Homo-oligomer: A and B are copies of this chain.
Amino acid sequence: MLDSVVVRFGPEIGVKSSRVRLRMEKRVCEHILKALEHYGLEVDELEYTFGRLYLYSSRAEEAAEKAARVFGVSSTSPAKRTSSNLSEIAEAAVKLASSALHEEAKFAVSCRRVGEHPYTSGDVCSRVGEAILEALGCRGVRVDLDNPDVTVGIEVREDKAFVYTQVLKGPGGFPAGTQGKSVCLISGGMDSPVACWLIMRRGSLPVFLTFNTHPYGGEELVERALECARILMTWAIGFKARAYIVPHGQLLDTVVKKAPRALTCVLCKRAMLRVAERVAVRERAQAVVTGESLGEQASQTIWNLRVISQAASSFPVLRPLIGFDKPETDELARRRGTCDVTARRASGCKAAPDTPAIKARVSEVAAVEQKLSLPALAPELISKAKVLELP
């Protein structure tokens, strides 16, 4: 019986000026329509009004689910549309409640109203509440405003009303493409896809960059990184992204064999950032994104981050997870769908030394790099990169 979807924007968009807000909301609408088309979910009709989008679709539940995966959306609800006539609203609410309320369920009614009506929001709540109690009292359902199992939501907008019992949480953030692009380092591990997702949510589209560290790391990691990249792009349906796969094994080989072992990870990361900066220039991106978290690994001590950062001087390195605790990252990975891929067992990096430096010194690191001509390798590595178009 559900025939429509209520889409709410924000919350971050809501604090912008009206002009910016309008522009962003319209963009979110476009992105939702692209996503629904992609999934073959037809929209019969739509209505946009400041702060809301109403979609009419016979597959309202699927449409609400897909729309809840578009950046800039605060939440969605598959709904039953009625006129603003109170009896019709109550009738629809009873029908919905009848399938949503189990035996002895506690429920609440909430109402939001825009326009002129012969009733108040409070009237709607009491009338609907009474109708539900009358129809379903035999099941032992009861009103509990503080701790309901189900909330029957009613949105009256001018001459229409929407009745729903589900609210699907959206990702929030800003619409895709409202910021410049970012080069996102993605490793096949748990953290980097989450970092990338967080930056995508703020409106930046990714250029993926992954390194093939064979024979030091398994080649399955590259596949895994690409799989994550594809999952990430399901959050920006209708957009394309490039993925660079850069051979890193030879450079690592030089580092492992000729540089002080304790510096391997710092040298490796600096080389990666140098490549990232070149990709950023080529792709006209504005930032580099990594999954680094302060202190999580030896290469991520504050001293080493400083040494690593100094290899990237023309682009900011954005580290959305820098202050995250590991369980928080894992939780986000689970919720964003990148977890299953990255939780699979993979061989660790064989280049990592037993006792990596905790406090590398930039002067020492730079001297080693010069001796081994590492900075000069970046252009060559990029020229050997495989470049894919995703999805």
Q: Which residues of A contact B (CB under 8 A)?
A: 11-12, 15, 172-174, 178-180, 182, 195, 198-199, 201-204, 286-287, 293-296, 301-303, 305-306, 308-310, 313-320, 322-327
Interface pair A295/B179, CB less than 8 Å apart: yes
Q: Which chain B positions have C-beta within 8 A of A287? A: 302, 305-306
A–B complex contacts, Cβ < 8 Å, 16 sampled: A11-B327, A12-B296, A12-B326, A12-B327, A174-B295, A180-B301, A180-B303, A198-B324, A201-B325, A202-B293, A204-B294, A286-B303, A305-B316, A308-B316, A318-B323, A320-B323
Q: Once bound together, how far apart are the Cα atoms of A329 and B224, in whole Å? A: 31
Q: Which of B201, B305, B306 contacts A323 (CB 8 A)?
A: B201
Interface pair A295/B202, CB less than 8 Å apart: yes
**Closest chain B residue, CB of each to CB of A314:** B310
**Closest chain B residue, CB of each to CB of A199:** B323
Q: Which chain B positions have C-beta within 8 A of A12? A: 295-296, 325-327
* Overall SS of chain A's interface: loop
Q: Which of B294, B324, B325 contacts A179 (CB 8 A)?
A: B294
Interface pair B316/A180, CB less than 8 Å apart: no
Q: Which of A178, A204, A302 has the most CB of B within 10 A?
A: A302
Q: Which chain B positions have C-beta within 8 A of A293? A: 202
Interface pair B180/A323, CB less than 8 Å apart: no
Q: Which chain B positions have C-beta within 8 A of A317? A: 316
Shortest CB distance A18–B (Å): 14
Interface pair B295/A178, CB less than 8 Å apart: yes
Interface pair B11/A326, CB less than 8 Å apart: yes
Q: Once bound together, how far apart are the Cα atoms of A78 and B204, in whole Å? A: 46
Q: Which chain B positions have C-beta within 8 A of A323? A: 195, 198-199, 201-202, 318, 320
Interface pair B306/A286, CB less than 8 Å apart: yes
Q: Which chain B positions have C-beta within 8 A of A179? A: 294-295, 301-302
Known A12-B325, A15-B326, A172-B327: A302·B180 in contact at CB below 8 Å: yes
Q: Which chain B positions have C-beta within 8 A of A178? A: 295
Q: Once bound together, how far apart are the Cα atoms of A202 and B12, in whole Å? A: 27
Q: Once bound together, how far apart are the Cα atoms of A199 and B324, in whole Å? A: 9
Q: Which chain B positions have C-beta within 8 A of A295? A: 12, 174, 178-179, 202-203
Shortest CB distance A67–B (Å): 18
**Closest chain B residue, CB of each to CB of A316:** B309
Q: Which 10 A-B pairs have the closest CB atoms?
A: A198-B323, A320-B323, A309-B316, A202-B294, A286-B302, A172-B325, A179-B302, A180-B302, A286-B306, A318-B322
